[in-house]
Amino acid sequence: MCATGGCRRFAHLNDQGVPSRHCGVHFCRFEGGCDAERAPGTEDVCVAHVCEEAGCMRPRTHRTERSRYCKNHECEIRDCWHRRWLGEFCPRHQCARLGCELKGEFEHYCAKHRVCATPGCDRFRFVDGENVKEMCEEHCDARVIDGAPLCVNHICAHRTCNNERYQFGEHCADHKCAVIGCPQLRVRMVLSQTMMLFGGADMVGGINWPLSPYCRAHACCQEGCTERPAENSSFCQAHAKCRRPGCTNGVDSRAPDPTLCEEHNRNGPGGTGRRGVLNHDAFGYGGGGGWPDLGSWGVNAAL
């Protein structure tokens, strides 16, 4: 019979037919075998075999006799019973690079954060996609490009530029988009004939076309503009176009609807339209007017 007080069920039999001290409801189901009574609230194990993590009621693993945590909290390294840290490994077996959750296989570092093979250098090795080089960027042993000081992996991808490329991108700081985190190439500004007189940065088709500070996705589409576009627009606030179809006027940022031009703000919903030509307030800005002693005009006229 079950040894739990008040229980009249028969004792549980294991796979070998050996009876437990408790029934199937009350016996500890720890993988290594246990005759103790199951603790209330746990996942079928006794107090001695529940995970030590605060608030966790799962059973401990049975990989080693010293296991103290469940499979979700114990280090993934075989024969290690310590608690995981940021990822699947304990601090001893995790990569020593701050914030990296990978396994530290090479002197406490993962494959991508191995130290440069140059004696005395403590920089990380250069990583090109999935390929980890033997040296860091400072001690790169690749062959340099003819007439340039850098190899193909470190030189700016912009033609005629010999600068070192920005980390995590293909272009140097002079040719990379100025938006933080964007590695794209800066777009060339389209200039009017007047603005071309001021020259530019690069020669294309016999004309000097300067580069915008931003790439195509982050640059205002207005010719010669060096600003970023406004939200949900291809133009900056100064060059944003009226949203009315066919209208090429710029928006009036001071108007009630900043997505419309001055004219469509007046003639839109609630607008007053243009007022009489004899009115001092011909454009509807609230200045009064009309014939002397006769009040303001109530007539709208097309100017």
DSSP classification of residue 236: -
C-alpha 223 chain-centroid distance: 30
Domain ranges of the chain: 177-228, 275-303
The one-digit pLDDT tens for each residue of the chain (303 residues) are 888 888 888 888 877 778 888 888 888 888 878 888 888 888 888 988 899 888 899 998 877 778 889 988 999 988 888 998 888 999 889 988 877 888 888 778 888 888 887 778 888 888 877 778 777 877 777 787 888 878 888 889 988 898 888 877 889 988 999 998 888 999 887 655 554 555 544 444 445 567 889 998 898 887 778 888 877 777 887 888 888 888 878 888 788 888 888 888 888 654 444 433 443 444 444 444 444 444 444 444 333
- In angstroms, the CA 201 to CA 151 distance is 24
pLDDT at 35: 82
pLDDT at site 278:
40
Do 7 and 38 contact (CB within 8 A), yes or no? no
pLDDT, position 73: 92
Q: Write down the pLDDT at residue 41.
A: 83
Per-residue model confidence (pLDDT) at position 22: 86
What local confidence, expressed as pLDDT, does residue 271 receive?
A: 45
- Kindly write down the DSSP assignment for every residue of 31-63, as one continuous string: TT---SBPPTTSSS--GGGB--STT--SBPP-S
The first and second tokens of residue 71, run together, are 């499979």
